[in-house]
């Protein structure tokens, strides 16, 4: 493309440049060029191992300066091999950071929120689909204040919805709700309490529900706890502090019944990266991760085999900084695990990686890109449910910009921060986890 205000030269227009200057597989070189030192003999194809060696020896790619520029933990010495799969995507209304659940009768319910300045008040919302997420009815505005902090349908059909005002439950498919307000003295301290934008409660073998709670203890510092309910979410208590130090305000859990294990993934600040010297090498972008900012957040994993009383120390998942907005583990019906995460670097959106060993390791080189169309890093929180037919419904949010007419080319640059339910829109995508994914090495 020419600089703005300059006229494009004949035969260099973007519609004709490829054909006239290069040809389909053309070259601009004239004459002969001596082979590069160390190049393989002519006619001998380079193997995958050879390409990996060349990558290791590549000159470092010069990334833009600063943080949150889209390049923070991206490996630029790679290409993506993409295979498209069919899916069903729906843009929702009045559904900030949506999350879905499914009732026994097949109804899909999506919880979200509205808030100022787009709406007068902060409130949770629900909307229902009776055709597997293809269409949704009009949003229902609830009296509970948003934002939502986890939404689950329990085995007996009880709905649990966390939000700014506490934890609510419904036994009639969301028509009526009762709310448990979080008492200020549930855990030590005086800082603000919250649930985080997490997956919601996990259900243990004996029916106990377990859910994340945090308390602010300083600037970009929190103490994190697991709280429990033994009466189907009517009341909560019996907190256990988890070993994330003061680094995490968002932790999502999954229960692995075969191992009787609670598996957690935490969105941790850069302080977690600096606690162990080797972590900076295990977290892409970790060496430059800043303290006290979302720009240094990364995903760590840990677990408990005694119903959350004791825990392993958090270790890196292998995802990079700004790949934890948030991060949500999920056990599939066929035994595989997936880890869904908001990707606040190129391509902006939401992704998932898979595991065959219950989350011990993740196939980071085989991500599924669920959304890629956010104008900026205002995106993520891909919370999911597996439907009765085995497909997934993943809710997330993305930054969209209306761009009427023919320009400007990039309205995202210099645009004001987006608001939920306006530029930041809630969407769901229904998709199928591919067979034999991730491929075993």
Q: What is the pLDDT of residues 300-316, one digit of tens each?
A: 999 999 999 999 999 99
pLDDT, one tens digit per residue, over 269-291 is 999 999 999 999 999 999 999 99
171 vs 3, higher pLDDT: 171
Query: Does any domain span residue 231?
Result: yes
The predicted pLDDT at position 389 comes to 97
**Mean pLDDT of all residues in the chain?**
90
pLDDT at 9 over 60: no
> Which of 20-34, 76-90, 108-122, 134-148 has the least mean pLDDT?
20-34
Residue 18, pLDDT > 60, answer no
Residue 354 lies in a domain: yes
Domain boundaries, position 222: 88-407+415-431
- The span from the CA of 82 to the CA of 335, in Å, is 25
- CATH number, domain containing residue 231: 2.120.10.10
pLDDT above 70 covers a percentage of the chain that reads 90
Has residue 16 been placed in a domain?
A: no
pLDDT value, residue 42: 79
Question: Is 304 inside a domain boundary?
Answer: yes
153 found inside a domain: yes
Answer yes or no: is 8 within a domain.
Answer: no
Report the pLDDT value the prediction gives residue 402, as an integer from 0 to 100: 81
pLDDT of amino acid 38: 60
Q: Considering its fold, how many domains does the chain have in total?
A: 1
pLDDT tens for 206-254 read: 999 999 999 999 999 999 999 999 999 999 999 999 999 999 999 999 9
Specify the pLDDT at position 37: 59
Q: Determine, yes or no, domain membership for 20.
A: no
Tell whether 393 is covered by a domain: yes
When pLDDT is averaged across residues 126-154 and rounded to a whole number, the result is 96
């Amino acid at each position: 493309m020419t600089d703005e205000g300059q006229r494009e030269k004949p035969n260099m227009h973007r519609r004709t440049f490829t054909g006239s200057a290069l040809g389909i597989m053309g070259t601009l070189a004239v004459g002969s060029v001596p082979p590069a030192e160390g190049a393989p003999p002519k006619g001998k194809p380079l193997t995958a191992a050879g390409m990996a060696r060349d990558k290791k020896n590549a000159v470092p790619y010069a990334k833009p300066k600063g943080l949150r520029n889209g390049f923070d933990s991206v490996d630029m010495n790679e290409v993506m091999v993409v295979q498209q799969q069919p899916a069903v995507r729906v843009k929702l209304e009045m559904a900030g950071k949506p999350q879905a659940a499914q009732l026994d009768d097949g109804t899909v319910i999506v919880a979200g929120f509205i808030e100022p300045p787009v709406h007068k008040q902060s409130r949770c919302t629900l909307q229902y689909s009776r055709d597997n997420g293809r269409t949704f009815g009009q949003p229902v505005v609830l009296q509970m204040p948003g934002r939502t902090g986890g939404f689950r349908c329990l085995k007996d059909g009880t709905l649990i919805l966390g939000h700014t005002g506490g934890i609510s439950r419904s036994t009639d498919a969301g028509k009526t709700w009762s709310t448990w307000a979080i008492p200020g003295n549930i855990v030590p301290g005086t800082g603000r309490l919250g649930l985080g934008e997490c997956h919601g409660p996990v259900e243990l073998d004996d029916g106990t529900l377990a859910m994340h709670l945090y308390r602010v203890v300083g600037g970009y510092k929190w103490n994190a706890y697991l709280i429990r309910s033994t009466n189907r979410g009517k009341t909560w208590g019996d907190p256990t502090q988890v070993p994330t130090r003061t680094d995490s305000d968002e932790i999502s859990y999954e229960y692995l019944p075969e191992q009787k294990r609670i598996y957690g993934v935490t969105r941790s600040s850069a302080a977690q990266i600096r606690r162990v010297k080797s972590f900076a090498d295990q977290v892409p972008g970790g060496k430059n991760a800043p303290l006290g900012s979302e720009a240094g957040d990364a995903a760590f994993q840990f677990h408990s085999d005694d119903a959350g009383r004791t825990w392993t120390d958090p270790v890196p998942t292998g995802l990079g900084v700004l790949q934890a907005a948030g991060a949500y583990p999920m056990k599939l019906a066929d035994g595989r695990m997936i880890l869904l995460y908001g990707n606040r670097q190129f391509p902006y959106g939401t992704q998932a990686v898979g595991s065959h060993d219950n989350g011990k390791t993740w196939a980071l080189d085989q991500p599924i890109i669920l959304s890629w169309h956010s104008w900026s890093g205002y995106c993520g929180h891909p919370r999911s449910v597996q439907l009765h037919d085995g497909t997934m419904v993943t809710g997330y949010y993305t930054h969209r910009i209306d761009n009427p007419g023919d320009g400007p080319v990039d309205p995202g640059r210099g645009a004001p921060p987006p608001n939920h339910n306006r530029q930041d829109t809630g969407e769901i995508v229904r998709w199928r986890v591919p067979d034999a994914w991730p491929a075993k090495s």
